[in-house]
Structures are given as structure tokens and as C-alpha cells.
Amino acid sequence: MAAELIRQVKAYAWLQRAAWKASFAYRGNTANTIVGVAAVQGAQLLFIGVLLDRFGAVAGWSIPEVALLYGMRLTAHGICTTCFGQHTAVAIMLREGYYDRFLLRPVNPFLQVLTARFNLGTLGDLGLGLTILAVAAPAAPVRWTPLTVSFLAGAVLGGGLVEAGVQIALSGLSFRVSMFSAKATVSTVFTDFGAYPMTIFGHAGAHALTFALPLAFVAYLPCTVILGRTAELVVPAWLAYGAPLAGPLLLYAGYRFFIRQSRHYVSTGN
């Protein structure tokens, strides 16, 4: 069992390296993709920038506090897209019949889906996220200690896995139905509403965005721990302290769901 796990992890590394190398085959496209991703995040940044400029604070959170939250969310998103982003392509792979070849190799097909390509643009998400974190962290009212820094690191890693777990589960549904809108919806909710203090969504909204869609685990819950704002939570504070652990759990759940759904796979004609 352990040997098999090691073999699969190694396979992931080899395949990811090949995908990384292949991503440089089209230089023009690479530059293009990076520009595109920068545009998406840039528009988002402008949006938040204009809002903060006009309104100053959101739900009692100062500008540096919201910036820290935003940086955490974007970094987590970058981790999700760089390491797990390719799962979204599974619908296309199924339609075009590429999925078959993953079943012919002695490697977990899910890993082969993840490593079919490497989207260099996703590095834009990660880079911008880290930059914002680097700018916001010193400005935020936090006394940084090794403990808080490692909590922050664990939180953004875990946050990335939370998003990946949810998205991977949705991608798993592609084996049965077209879920394009659902995936687009969830990813825009993650992108557009993940960087606000959840109190603005009210009691019910905050619960829904914690338990129905685990958006709060991505950045908000751990951020309240770092900022010492756990008192404002509508959920128990231990959830916020344990938030980084939600990532691996949700990723595993999403992966299991994906694999279950993949049993419904019906190969296309040729």
C-alpha cells in the first residue's frame, strides 16, 4: 500500500515535469496566457482597490486587514490552480476521447488528468497572491511570530486544497452530466466573494458559506485567527483554528468522489 502510494507520487512528479516542459512548446501562447490571467486578477484587484478606496473599511475590517484576507485567498487559489487546475479539462478529455489513454497506463488516471498539461498562467495567480501577502502582512495589525507565520503558511496551503477538493468533486460529475455552469458558478463565488469578512453575509449566509460551500475555510476562518478576530465568528472558534486541516480532508473527499464518478465513464465510439 505504502509502496504503491510512493510509486503514484513519483509518477505525479514525472508527469508534471513533462507537462511543465511541454508548456514551453508554444512560447507565444505562454506569454498570452500569463497576460490573460494577469487581466483577470488585475480586474479583480482594481475592483477591490476602487471599493476600498471609496469605502475605507468593510464590516469593521481595515484596508490592510481586507488586503491580507484577499492575499490569502488569492495565494490559496494559486496553489489550487497550479497543482490541481487541470481537473477542469476532464470534461473536454472525456468528450474528445483522450481519457481512454489514461486507463491504459499503470498510473492512477486522476493523476494523469492533473498532469495532462501545465497552465503557466496559473503561476500568475500564485505570484500575485504572494505579492499581495508580502505587502499586506507587514501592514496588518498582527505581531508576526514563527507560530503565526507557519499558521499562515498552513492556512493558504489548506485553503488551496479546500478549493481543489470542491472543484475536483464537481469535475467528477462531468463523467455523468455536463457541469460547466456549476463549475463556473462555484469558481466565481470563490473568486468574487472569498475575500470579504463573512459577517457581511449575515448569520445564515455565513453558515451557508462555511458548511454548504466551504468557502470560509479557504481564507476567512484562518484569517480571523491571525487577526485575533475570532470573536466575530458565527461558528465555533475551534473551526477557525483547525481550518488548515480542512484542506487535506476535503481534497481527499473530492478525490474519492471523483474516482467514484469515474466508474460511470463510458468511452466514446472511437
Where does this chain bind other proteins (CB under 8 A)?
7, 10-11, 14-15, 18, 21-23, 25-26, 28-29, 31-37, 39-40, 42-43, 46-47, 50-51, 53-55, 58-59, 97-98, 100-101, 103-107, 121, 177-182, 184-185, 188-189, 192-193, 196, 199-202, 205, 263, 266-267, 269-270
CB nearer to other proteins: give 65 or 244: 65
Are the beta carbons of 147 and 234 closer than 8 angstroms?
no
Q: How far is the CB of 40 from other proteins (least distance, A)?
A: 5
CB nearer to other proteins: give 148 or 191: 191
Q: How far is the CB of 57 from other proteins (least distance, A)?
A: 8
CB nearer to other proteins: give 113 or 161: 113
CB nearer to other proteins: give 82 or 119: 119
Query: 86: closest CA among 182, 164, 175?
Result: 164
CB nearer to other proteins: give 83 or 107: 107
Q: How far is the CB of 11 from other proteins (least distance, A)?
A: 6
User: DSSP letter string over the chain?
Assistant: -HHHHHHHHHHHHHHHHHHHHHTTS-HHHHHHHHHHHHHHHHHHHHHHHHHHHHH--BTTB-HHHHHHHHHHHHHHHHHHHHHHGGGGGHHHHHHHTTHHHHHTSSS-HHHHHHTS---TTHHHHHHHHHHHHHHHHHHSS----HHHHHHHHHHHHHHHHHHHHHHHHHHHGGGTS--HHHHHHHHHHHHHHTTS-GGGGHHHHHHIIIIISTHHHHTHHHHHHHHT-GGG-SS-HHHHHTHHHHHHHHHHHHHHHHHHHHTT------
Q: How far is the CB of 173 from other proteins (least distance, A)?
A: 9
Q: How far is the CB of 19 from other proteins (least distance, A)?
A: 8
Q: How far is the CB of 148 from other proteins (least distance, A)?
A: 27
Q: How far is the CB of 103 from other proteins (least distance, A)?
A: 5
CB nearer to other proteins: give 194 or 222: 194
Contacts of 260 (CB under 8 A, 6+ apart): 172
CB nearer to other proteins: give 94 or 137: 94
